[in-house]
């Protein structure tokens, strides 16, 4: 049985595969970027506090910075998001996403658990 694409699953449940949005659907096109390419925006209040989650994989700035520095990212393109997401997934699996996204967690479980997912080459 082939492995499912983890990055696509995360993007599907985190943002509906929209690569330029902030949490709650805010359009981040045209926002300035940090030196590592992450959008600078005010964020929104959630039950966990203020989030600055952004992009197709809804990265938080700390996660983006940790892996973006390894890849020397400088933009927020879909390709860069996928590359950083792949590196993050290789190190942490679904941990940065599934605990905060019940629909993603249910999808993972319904499809055989984390071992059913792999990374699809970029």
Q: Say if pTM beats, i.e. exceeds, 0.85.
A: yes
For residues 69 and 36, is the Cβ–Cβ distance under 8 A? yes
Listing DSSP states for 31-95 in one string gives --B-TTS-B----EEETTEEE--BTTTTB-HHHHHHHHHHHT-----HHHHHHHHHHHHHHHTTT
Average pLDDT of the chain, as a whole number: 93
Q: What is the pLDDT of residue 119?
A: 64
| Average pLDDT of span 101-108 | 96
Of the listed ranges 10-24, 73-87, 108-122, the least confidently predicted one is: 108-122
Q: What whole-number distance in Å separates Cα of residue 64 and Cα of residue 85?
A: 9
* Domain map (residue ranges) of the chain: 4-118
Class of domain 4-118: mainly alpha
Burial of 93 (0-12, 13-18, 19+ CB in 10 A): middle
| Average pLDDT of span 79-101 | 95
| Tens-digit pLDDT profile for residues 65-77 | 999 999 998 899 9
User: Sorting pLDDT into bands at 50, 70 and 90, what band is 17?
Assistant: very high
């Amino acid at each position: 049985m082939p492995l499912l694409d983890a990055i696509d699953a995360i993007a599907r449940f985190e943002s509906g595969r929209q690569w330029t949005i902030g949490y709650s659907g805010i359009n981040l096109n045209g926002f300035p970027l940090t030196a590592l390419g992450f959008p600078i925006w005010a964020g929104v209040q959630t039950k966990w506090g203020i989030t600055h989650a952004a992009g197709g994989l809804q990265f938080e700035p700390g996660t983006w910075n940790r892996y973006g520095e390894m890849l020397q990212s400088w933009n927020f393109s879909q390709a860069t998001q996928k590359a950083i997401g792949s590196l993050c997934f290789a190190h942490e699996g679904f941990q940065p996403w599934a605990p905060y996204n019940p629909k993603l967690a249910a999808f993972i479980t319904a499809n055989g658990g984390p071992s059913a997912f792999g990374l699809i080459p970029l």
